[in-house]
Amino acid sequence: MSRLTSIDEAAPRLPLLVRPFQAGMTGWIVVFGATVVVLVGGAITSQKSLAAALPVLVIPVVVAFGFGIVQWWQVRSAGADRTSWWHLGAIPAAVLIWFLWPNVPNALNDANGSSAVSVCDNLPTDSTAACLHRAAPAVDAHNLAWWLGLALVAVAALLARRSRIAVWSSIPAAFAGCLLASSFLEQLVLHYQVVK
């Protein structure tokens, strides 16, 4: 018999997302990958239909938050140490991205996407009533997507003390919220460019 105890028998094995190195690498890959997919996908699908843009912008954020929630659960279940406070720096960065990133197409910069009337005033149309009928749902969807981006940042802040992945997922969520909001109004601009 050997007097040495193997490492596997000496300590219980921590879940993957609780181990510092593995959790850090997984988080970096997931969040960086989600950010790249959202930015590149948003650039590629900006002139495409919503059916193409929606999955490209939403799925990476869902995957990143999924990993974040799993990490939160594993850290909580294992009773591991909470993450350091400096990870909360991702939240102000995400809020700045959300606030400063353009969420209105260039053709509607004067309108700021604030109301259907201001959007229709900036579009080349002869029928204001028809434009308002199209613009109202687009502006509502724009506002909903934009504010949901901020809501995801707030959710990430709530998960921050137990999940580094969740808190850093706020950055691709902020980008996705702005790009998705912009794509709703971009569809309106594209429609009136084709009609013109």
41-63 tens-digit pLDDT: 999 998 888 899 999 999 999 99
Confidence of residue 128 (pLDDT cuts 50, 70, 90): confident
Q: Is the pLDDT of residue 196 over 60?
A: no
pTM: 0.87
Distances (CA, A) of 76 to 20, 28, 70, 169, 183: 15, 20, 10, 19, 38
Mean pLDDT of 58-81: 93
Cα-trace Rg, the chain: 22
Cα separation, 124 vs 115, in Å, equals 16
Confidence of residue 90 (pLDDT cuts 50, 70, 90): very high
For the chain, what is the mean pLDDT?
88
- Higher local confidence (pLDDT), 190 or 194: 190
For 98-159, give the DSSP string. Answer: HHHS--S-GGGTTTTT--HHHHHHTS--S-HHHHHHHHHHHHHHHHHHHHHHHHHHHHHHHT
In what helix (H) or strand (E) does residue 67 lie, and over which residues does it extend? helix 50-78
Cα separation, 107 vs 196, in Å, equals 14
Q: Is the pLDDT of residue 176 over 80?
A: yes
- Which structure tokens are listed for 121? 């005033």
What is the predicted pLDDT for the residue at 7?
53
End-to-end CA distance of the chain: 87
Q: Is the pLDDT of residue 127 over 70?
A: yes
Q: Is the pLDDT of residue 2 over 80?
A: no
Contact by Cβ (8 Å): 48, 139: no
Cα separation, 55 vs 85, in Å, equals 33
Percentage of the chain with pLDDT > 70? 90
What is the predicted pLDDT for the residue at 6?
54
CB atoms within 10 A of CB 183: 28
What is the predicted pLDDT for the residue at 112?
64
Confidence of residue 172 (pLDDT cuts 50, 70, 90): very high
Counted residue by residue, the chain has a size of 196
